[in-house]
Structure 1
Amino acid sequence: MSSVLDTVLDTLAEHSDNPSAFLALNSGNEYFRDDRFEGACAYRRSGRHVLQFGGPFAAPEHRERLLDSFVAETGPRLVAVQLQRADAELYARRGFTVNQLGASYAVDLSCFTLRGSRFVRLRNKISRARRAGLEVAEVQHDDRRELDLLDDRWLRDKGRHVKELRFLVGQRTGPLQEHRRLFVGRIAGEAVGYVNYSPSYGSRPGWLHDLSRRRPDAPPGVMEALNATVMERFVADGAGWLHFGFTPFTGLGEEHEVPGSSRMFARFARLLAEHGKAIYPAASQLEYKEKWAPHAVLPEYIAFLGKPRVGAVWQLLRATNAV
């Protein structure tokens, strides 16, 4: 399996323009390849449905034919998620019903600053955490036990019915963890939070803020101070962008839809944007991302082979552990 992952990783690095593409390498995903074309499709199964992540990762001249080959292999119960605009247009041309599902957010590190009145509250939170003694360090990925314990406390604090999200979020384990960067915030030697970052490729290369955890009793501002410290390091390293990733049911707009989109699904997405807190914590995620005044807000899409189906949406929610 590691050779497959290495091949897919090489493809992502060379051809992907999806800022979250590294999540295609998450544990639990499978990969479709056709020897006639350079590239791969990442997917997982839920019930009778096939859930594809991020579109066909391939050289431009192979993308359409690789998608056709994947469709022929998987059949009519295919749903593709976290598509970029170019993907959305491709899928629409191939007979899919495509709708905006949300947006991703990114900061241009060449313009990064926390100066000015718009960042007063953020600077105050960061200062408060640093006065509490927060120290930030990059750690090796085999230093897992203290972070496993932090994960357990974080999840218990969410309530007994809450499950850890998966599929469309990052992870800090697996055979490719060495390609990520993991930063831990400690106070008095104890871990109070961490952020895991994955590489991003394409037209906005840099890093993806793909997974974070905070101890329930950590002082306010810990995660903001941790991320600000890492952003300063990324700037010093010459990184181009920091991506905050995809948030469903945010940034929705009719102007982002592609021809042939479903009005019914668009209404459904807006309904979840207003009332879907129990399904996905979109509002709190968006609040955190907007604190950093992102320079780019990129619409992301979902595509159904044929018409949108309630069963397909349900299986997607199951795959993400949202229900």
Structure 2
Amino acid sequence: MPSAFDLVSAHADNPSAFLALNSGNEFFLDERHDGVCAFRPARRHLLQLGGPFAAPGDRAGLLDAFLERAASGRRRVIAVQLQADDAQLYASRGFTVNQMGASYAVDLTRFTLRGSPFVRLRNKISRARRAGVEVAEVDPTDASDASDASGELDLLDREWLREKGKRTKELRFLVGERGGAEEKRQRVFTGTVDGRIVGYVSYSPAFGSRPGRLHDLSRRRADAPPGTMELINSTAIERITAEGDKWLHFGFTPFVGLDPALEVPGASGTVARVLRFLGEHGERVYPAAAQLDYKEKWAPHVVLPEYIAFQGRVTPGALWRLGRETNAI
């Protein structure tokens, strides 16, 4: 029987599909259909990521089988980070579907840092180099240096979260992870000053019509020189482009790129208003503006709307459960 990774990598056309393989997720398979649904139980709900990852002729059937599974346990499905085709499919099954944000991608075959639009970005990269930042790829699965690198990255993670404030919790389910069963498929680039890691970015596989890498977790110390993250990412871009990757995805950012013209029939006006409010005033929930600023400085070639779908009508209980399970509240 194919593994969850085999099915996701074969069928997913979602830049964040690798997140479906995170630790703690469960997988629904049906012998009648070639595909998999990734989900996480959440009290009276099943929280699904990315829709049915299945062969084109099996997507609808697999979703219907998954919904039957949920109904047999008296649970309702909440699906997040759906692509536009998924949104239409879920709406046809009676879901309330709303645009939740957008994802951003750079075509590496066309990418360049030359020209006046990138003057500020080039200056930040040069500033980091002058400050002594050195970039290297580390392999936490390599026993020869894994313990030192992983330990320092773990420490950086804790410092990064502590700097966000006492009440801040790290998001889960909607973001990637270091470690886990598929760690060997990830790549980690670090920035160091005098041998001390001051920042890192992890890159996960991206599948489908725009294959390449997903700019996943990124962390920096408060005292990291300006331009550290930009230098790390530009170095990674050079490496993965030389190795043949075609796309770099910057992943999903909630509450941004919202456009009434992109909503599907039956979208909830209340949910749309809440999401727009969070986009304008929700920095304590999620730093969407800062993330968007970082992503846009790389001049993405493609912006994809992403959706959230609630089975039936949207209830306060469903919104609360979504917030709790993702650590957004």
Question: Does the alignment reach a TM-score above 0.5?
Answer: yes
Is this contact kept in 2: 1:46–1:318, CA < 8 A?
no
Match of 1:68 among 64, 70, 85: 64
**Residue type at the aligned position of 2:281:** H
Extract unaligned runs of 5+ from structure 2. Answer: none
What is the aligned residue count?
319
The one of 244, 247, 252 equivalent to 1:241 is: 247
Matches of residues 309-320 of structure 1 in structure 2 within 5 Å?
309-320=315-326
1:275 matched residue in structure 2? 281
SS of residue matched to 2:3 = helix
Distance 2:317 2:124 in 1: 43
* Equivalent residue number for residue 85 of structure 2: 86
Instruction: Give the one of 19, 25, 29 matched to 1:23.
Output: 19
- Structure 2 counterpart of 1:172: 178
Under a length normalisation based on structure 1, what TM-score does the superposition of the two structures give?
0.96
Partners of 2:156 and 2:221 within 8 A in 1: yes
1:84-138 CA distance string (max 9 Å, x none)? 0010011111111111000000000011111111111111111100111111111
Residue identity opposite 1:53 in structure 2? L
3-state SS in 2 of match to 1:174: coil
Structure 2 counterpart of 1:100:
99
CA distance in 2, matches of 1:276, 1:86: 28
Matching residue's letter, 1:157: E
Other structure's SS at 1:68 match: helix
Write out aligned runs for 1:129-140 (5 A). Answer: 129-140=128-139
Which aligned pairs between 1:113-192 and structure 2 lie closer than 5 A? 113-142=112-141, 143=146, 144-192=150-198
Structural RMSD (CA)? 1.1
Give the deviation of 1:311 after TM superposition.
1.5
Secondary structure of the corresponding residue to residue 111 of structure 1:
coil
Determine the C-alpha separation between the residues in 1 that align with 2:152 and 2:263: 44
Q: For the residues of structure 2 that align with 1:310 and 1:122, how far apart are their CA atoms?
A: 43
Q: 2:159, 2:184 → 1: CA distance?
A: 25
Q: Distance in 1 between matches of 2:5 and 2:319?
A: 28
Show structure 1 runs of 4+ deviating over 6 A.
Answer: none
In the TM superposition, residue 57 of structure 1 has moved relative to its aligned partner by 0.8
Gaps (5+ residues) in structure 1? none
Residue pair 2:8, 2:36 contacting (<8 A) in 1 also: no
CA contact (8 A) 1:41 1:57 kept: yes
- Does the Cα contact within 8 Å between 2:7 and 2:35 map onto a contact in 1? yes
Task: Read off the aligned partner of 2:98 and give its amino acid letter.
Answer: N
Distance in 1, matches of 2:161 and 2:266, equals 40
Q: Which residue, 271, 285, 290 being the options, matches 1:284?
A: 290
> 1:179–1:198: 8 Å Cα contact kept in structure 2?
yes
Report SS of the residue matched to 2:112. coil
Equivalent-residue separation in structure 2 for 1:49 and 1:98 (angstroms): 16
3-state SS of paired residue (2:52): strand
1:49 paired with 2:41, answer no
CA shift at 1:47, angstroms?
Answer: 2.8
| Aligned partners of 1:31 and 1:40 also within 8 Å | yes
Determine whether 1:259 maps to 2:265: yes
Deviation digits for residues 55-97 of structure 1 (CA, Å, limit 9, x no counterpart):
0011111110111111111135211000000100111111111
Residue 136 of structure 1 aligns to which amino acid in structure 2?
Answer: V
What SS class does the counterpart of residue 110 from structure 1 fall into?
A: coil
Question: Is the contact made by 1:141 and 1:172 (CA closer than 8 Å) also made in structure 2?
Answer: no
Q: Is the Cα contact below 8 Å between 1:84 and 1:301 reproduced in 2?
A: yes
Give the counterpart letter for 1:91 in structure 2: Y
Whether the 8 Å contact between 2:131 and 2:225 is mirrored in structure 1 is yes
> Alignment partner for residue 7 of structure 2, among 6, 11, 17?
11
- Which residue of 1 is the match for residue 309 of structure 2? 303
Q: Which amino acid aligns with 1:197?
A: Y
Aligned to 1:59: 55
Q: Secondary structure at the match of 1:312?
A: helix
Tell me the distance in 1 between the aligned counterparts of 2:44 and 2:157.
31
Tell me the SS of whatever aligns to 2:15. Answer: coil
Is contact 2:104–2:250 with CA below 8 Å preserved after alignment? Answer: yes
- Secondary structure of 2:36's counterpart equals strand
CA distance in structure 2 between the aligned counterparts of 1:115 and 1:313, rounded to whole angstroms: 44
Deviation of 1:46 (Å): 2.1
Q: In percent, how many aligned pairs have the same letter? A: 64
Worse overlay, 229-238 or 200-209 = 229-238
Q: 1:47 and 1:223 mapped to 2: Cα distance?
A: 38
**Residue 195 of structure 1: SS of its match in structure 2?**
strand
Task: Decide which moves more: 237-246 or 260-269.
Answer: 260-269
Deviates more, 1:250-259 or 1:308-317: 308-317
